[in-house]
């Protein structure tokens, strides 16, 4: 059995629709394996989104290694949908220092924009700065201005 990793198995319905330095936006299409026994989006999956979107927000700043989680917090505001529904999810950097990165994550209803859940994810990034695979993106996130270009990355 090949281990594809937690995110690839649980978040196969997640599509990233926009990424700029410091902010990542996505849409999750809820699938049967994403729901709880009441057939609504499982809280554990929402916690996974908090973890993953926080890490992607850090990566959007060009850090190859997104560090190690030191704190993750998720608050559930409303049921977040059923199988086939979509939810909007955003991850944004609140602060990025030499040692810690703090992010905020939100899940929102796609048409009403109602807040469904929010969370924070703090990561130790002290060893991530200075990594040889780090890049610097243009302000709009469309191009690499420093470091390896797409196609030259180790996992391309």
Point out which residues pair with 100 in neighbouring strands: 124
**Residue 106 φ then ψ, to 5°:** -135, 140
Write out the E strands in 4-156: 14-20, 23-29, 68-76, 86-96, 100-108, 115-124, 136-137, 144-146
pTM exceeding 0.85: yes
Alpha helices in the chain (DSSP H): 6-10, 43-59
CB 134 within 8 A of CB 62: yes
Q: 27-51, pLDDT tens digit by residue?
A: 999 999 999 999 999 999 999 999 9
When pLDDT is cut at 50, 70 and 90, the band that residue 155 belongs to is: low
Structural domains in the chain? 6-140 (3.10.129.10)
Q: What do you get for the CA distance between the two ends of the chain, in Å?
A: 23
pLDDT at residue 61 greater than cutoff 90: yes
């Amino acid at each position: 059995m090949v281990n594809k990793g937690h995110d690839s198995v649980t978040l196969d319905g997640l599509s990233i629709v926009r990424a700029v330095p410091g902010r990542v936006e996505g849409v999750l299409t809820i699938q049967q394996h994403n729901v709880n026994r009441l057939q609504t989006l499982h809280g554990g999956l929402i916690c996974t989104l908090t973890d993953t979107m926080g890490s992607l927000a850090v990566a959007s700043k060009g850090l190859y290694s997104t560090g190690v989680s030191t704190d993750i917090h998720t608050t559930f505001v409303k049921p977040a949908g059923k199988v086939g529904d979509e939810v909007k999810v955003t991850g944004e950097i609140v602060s990025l220092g030499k040692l810690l990165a703090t992010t905020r994550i939100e899940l929102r209803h796609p048409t009403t924009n109602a807040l469904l859940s929010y969370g924070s994810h703090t990561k130790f990034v002290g060893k991530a700065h200075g990594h040889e695979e780090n890049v610097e993106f243009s302000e709009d996130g469309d191009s690499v201005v420093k470091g390896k270009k797409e196609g030259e990355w180790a996992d391309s």
